[in-house]
């Protein structure tokens, strides 16, 4: 468990600089990743199905909000008849996607969702590790949950030995072969939050948090974590916001 005051001082995060050669390929690489194009990305998408299935598990609960919808690759895991909203600032990722019609509203920022709107379920897949203002987004999710609602977030096990080995030997090697560039530079720019930070913050803002790991049921040997969070702790949220 990371000390709360130490954790608070880490935000907002500052992204590591991204050299120009990486900037030129960032959009295409991200889209190829989300689309599972090429063997490495295709294999990664196969593994990530576990996160999609875990955040959509159980009885269908709507209305639903997805944080970081990207290319809308989670939509197919949800029933077609539920009210579905999303947050995605990078509009080029979802423009022209056939599943766009299944989503009522896509907001560019979580702060643009009307305060009176509430969701039975808020989901996120491989997004929270990218967010520089993570405490603010988690607090906003807590405020947007309807009574009895649940936040379910799938994240990479950033910091676990298995995760580190997997991206270096898999995606990292394929990236270097394809581009001649070091994948670690891109990872340091994109993944600003480790799994422990995300878990600890969620545990501070919610009274009930349950964790699931894949493929083995403990962090050190996991690639992904699914966080199930209920019962927002409004007092803890206000204290965090006040800096107490």
DSSP 16: P
* More confident position, 37 or 106: 106
- Supply the pLDDT for residue 178: 86
pLDDT by residue (tens digit) across 151-192?
999 999 999 999 999 888 888 888 898 899 999 999 999 999
- Supply the pLDDT for residue 167: 87
Q: Is-cis flag, bond preceding 235, omega within 30? A: no
| Contact present, 131 and 190 (Cβ < 8 Å) | no
Name the band, by pLDDT with cuts 50, 70 and 90, for residue 38: low
* More confident position, 4 or 42: 4
- Supply the pLDDT for residue 169: 86
- Supply the pLDDT for residue 81: 87
Helix axes 20-35, 183-190, angle to 10 degrees: 80
Residue with tokens 């600032």: 89
Q: Other C-beta atoms within 10 Å of 39: how many?
A: 10
Q: Is the pTM of this model over 0.85?
A: yes
User: Which domains are delineated in the chain?
Assistant: 4-242 (3.40.50.150)
CA distance 70 to 190: 14
Q: Which run of H or E residues covers position 75?
A: none
| Contact present, 31 and 71 (Cβ < 8 Å) | yes
| 222 has pLDDT over 70 | yes
pLDDT by residue (tens digit) across 90-140?
998 899 899 999 999 999 999 999 999 999 999 999 999 999 999 999 999
| Contact present, 85 and 107 (Cβ < 8 Å) | yes
In degrees, to the nearest 5, what angle opens at C-alpha 134 toward C-alphas 86 and 7? 165
CA 32 from chain center: how many Å?
17
Percent of the chain having pLDDT more than 90?
A: 68
Going by C-alpha positions, the residue among 206, 47, 58 that lies closest to residue 125 is: 47
Token pair, residue 176, equals: 């270097």
pLDDT by residue (tens digit) across 227-239?
999 999 989 898 8
| Contact present, 67 and 122 (Cβ < 8 Å) | yes
Residue with tokens 């959009």: 27
Cα dist. 199→10, 127, 191, 210 in Å?
15, 13, 15, 10
């Amino acid at each position: 468990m990371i000390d709360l005051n130490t954790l608070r001082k880490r935000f907002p995060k500052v992204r590591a600089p991204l050299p120009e050669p990486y900037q030129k390929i960032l959009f295409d690489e991200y889209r190829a990743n989300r689309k599972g194009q090429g063997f490495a990305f295709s294999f990664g998408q196969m593994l990530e199905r576990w996160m999609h299935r875990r955040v959509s598990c159980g009885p269908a609960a709507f209305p639903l909000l997805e944080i970081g919808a990207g290319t809308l690759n989670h939509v197919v895991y949800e029933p077609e008849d539920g009210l579905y909203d999303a947050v995605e600032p990078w509009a080029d990722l979802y423009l022209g996607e056939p599943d766009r019609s299944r989503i009522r509203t896509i907001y560019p920022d979580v702060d643009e969702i009307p305060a009176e709107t509430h969701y039975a379920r808020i989901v996120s897949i491989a997004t929270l590790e990218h967010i520089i203002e993570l405490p603010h987004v988690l607090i906003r999710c807590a405020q947007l949950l309807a009574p009895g609602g649940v936040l379910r977030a799938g994240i990479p096990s950033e910091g676990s030995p298995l995760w580190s080995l997997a991206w270096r030997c898999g995606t990292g090697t394929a990236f270097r072969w394809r581009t001649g560039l070091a994948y670690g530079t891109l990872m340091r720019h994109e993944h600003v939050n480790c799994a422990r930070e995300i878990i600890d913050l969620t545990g501070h803002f919610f009274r009930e948090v349950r964790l699931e790991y894949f493929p083995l049921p403990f962090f050190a040997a996991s690639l992904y974590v699914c966080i199930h969070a209920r019962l927002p702790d409004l007092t803890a949220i206000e204290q965090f916001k006040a800096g107490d």
